Every structure is written in structure tokens, then in C-alpha cells.
Amino acid sequence: MASPESSRERAIDLALGLAEELFGFGSSSSTPGWVRDRVRTHLEQQAAQSGLSLNEVAKRLLQDRRAVEEIVASLRVGETRFYRDKAQWEALERQLDHLFPTDVELAVLSAGCSTGEEAYTLGMLLTAARRRFRVLGVDRSAEAIRVAREATYPREAARDIPPAWVERFCDEHNGRLRVGMLVRNSVEFEECDLVQRVPAGPYHLILFKNVLLYLAAPAGEQVARRLANELEEGGLLLPAASEVLRLRNMGLTPFRMAPAVTALRPARRFIGPFRP
């Protein structure tokens, strides 16, 4: 007889398989631990409410598309934080004026922005660098976009932001951290499912980080290709470090920004600083 542990893992596999088949969510071979944890919690809650076993709850999903959609929706509100991947932000800050002349107004996209921390980090970086810019953050989760527009976070969210930026760009609102108007004025958010459409560019920078894991092949590759087509000449696509390999394999050319920081750009394009 199967151990409770292996039957729990099988129930999670079944739920993730359906999430992929019906909604193109992730690929089970590379599913990160937090995704499995969340699915397990969801199935356990359903089991507790219905009095069924975990396996029975998972099997019911075969006939219940809405229940699978609920799981996918809970997974798509993603984990994020301010100044995530410090080395990437530092490399961008160092190279910004070399990559893009200082008189150019930068157009930037945070594709899969979740609750806005990535878009606001960019806003803070570009304001600190005295650049003119517009940042657009898009996500398919309406709830994430609502939170992003509120721009108000738990105080602990300030933990990773450079202290000088917290001082200059954030204020306190009812005991919470709020991104100030100086940055908010140049950052907008929009609900958008990148599988359906990508926002029209051209963009100098596109952050496309930690979204691929939600998209099974070939949907993820198609989204990345469409995003790359929206890059300005000399523009860069910035993935998470773990995603560089998957994106290189689809023909994007790596551009080394720092020893452990690689950006990507379409192979056919001019490789060098942006020229207006």
C-alpha cells in the first residue's frame, strides 16, 4: 500500500498536471517547492472541509475545471519583494547611462509585476539616477494589480531597499510603508494576461522575472519572444538568473552586465549602447 507521503505527492502531481493541461500553468518537471506547498495546503483545506481524503479531493478535480482554476489563481499571485536580486539592480544602476543616453526618456515594462514591488524598485532606481522614465507594470492577477496601485506595504518590505531610497522615496501611512508620489507619478499598472497579448513597446528595458515558471512550454517561450520584439533598438530583457538558459535556447543573445548578471536581447539587433 502507498505511504501517506507518496499518495499526497501523487495528489499534488495530479492537481499540477491538470493546472498545466487546462490552463498552461508551469511544467511539473521544474515546479519549485513553494508551488507544491501551496497546492498541498489548498488540497488539505478542501479535504478538511469535505471530509474526503487528499486523493479523493485531487480526483474530483478531474471533473471540476473551476476548482482547478481556483488553484491556478492562488498560485498566480506570486511571491515578490522590493530590490529582489540585488546584484541585478546594482549592475543596472552602474551601466544605465552607458546603455542609454541620459537625455532619453526611458520606457520600461515590468512584465508579471505581481503586487508592484519590482516596478517601484525600478522607479526608485531611475529617479535616484535622475532619469526621465515611464514604468508600466502588468500582471494577469486583478488582485495583484489592485495592491500594486495602492503602493502600500508592510513595514518589513523596506528591509531590502537601500536605506537612502527608503528615506527619499517612501513615507509612512497608518504604520505601513507607502511609495511616495515622486516615484508613483511615473509608474502605472494594468491588468494583462501576457499569453493573450503583450503591451506594445518599444521599451528600453523589460523585466520578465520569475514568470516563466508559471508558463508551460511553448507558451512561456512565445511570451518571451513577443516581449523581445517590443524592445527598442539596444534594449534589454532582464530575466531571473535561473531563467537565462531557457531563454537563450530560444535564440536571444546574452549580454553580460556583471559576473552573475546576464540580460538578453534579440540576436538580429545591434549590440551596443542605445542610439536615439
Binding site for ligand SAM (CB under 6 A): 76-80, 84, 112-114, 118, 139-141, 144, 193-195, 209-211, 214
Q: How far is the CB of 226 from ligand SAM (least distance, A)?
A: 11
Q: How far is the CB of 144 from ligand SAM (least distance, A)?
A: 5
Residue 114 main-chain phi, psi, to 5 deg: 50, -130
Q: Which residues contact 204 (CB under 8 A, 6 or more apart)?
A: 99, 100, 104, 106, 107, 108, 231, 232, 234, 235, 236, 274
Residue 97 or 143: which CB sits closer to ligand SAM? Answer: 143
Residue 58 or 219: which CB sits closer to ligand SAM? Answer: 219
Residue 18 main-chain phi, psi, to 5 deg: -70, -35
Q: How far is the CB of 194 from ligand SAM (least distance, A)?
A: 4
Residue 54 or 147: which CB sits closer to ligand SAM? Answer: 147
Q: How far is the CB of 21 from ligand SAM (least distance, A)?
A: 16
Q: How far is the CB of 13 from ligand SAM (least distance, A)?
A: 21
> How many Å is the maximal CA-CA distance in the chain?
69
Residue 31 or 80: which CB sits closer to ligand SAM? Answer: 80
Residue 100 or 214: which CB sits closer to ligand SAM? Answer: 214
Q: How far is the CB of 109 from ligand SAM (least distance, A)?
A: 11
Q: How far is the CB of 219 from ligand SAM (least distance, A)?
A: 8
Amino acid at 195: V
Tell me: cis bond preceding 218? Omega within 30 of 0 counts: yes
Q: How far is the CB of 103 from ligand SAM (least distance, A)?
A: 29
Extract the C-alpha cell encoding 210: 520569475
Residue 56 or 193: which CB sits closer to ligand SAM? Answer: 193
CA 90/CA 101 separation, integer angstroms = 18
Closest residue to bound ligand SAM by CB: 78
Residue 80 or 186: which CB sits closer to ligand SAM? Answer: 80
CA 20/CA 1 separation, integer angstroms = 28
Residue 204 or 209: which CB sits closer to ligand SAM? Answer: 209
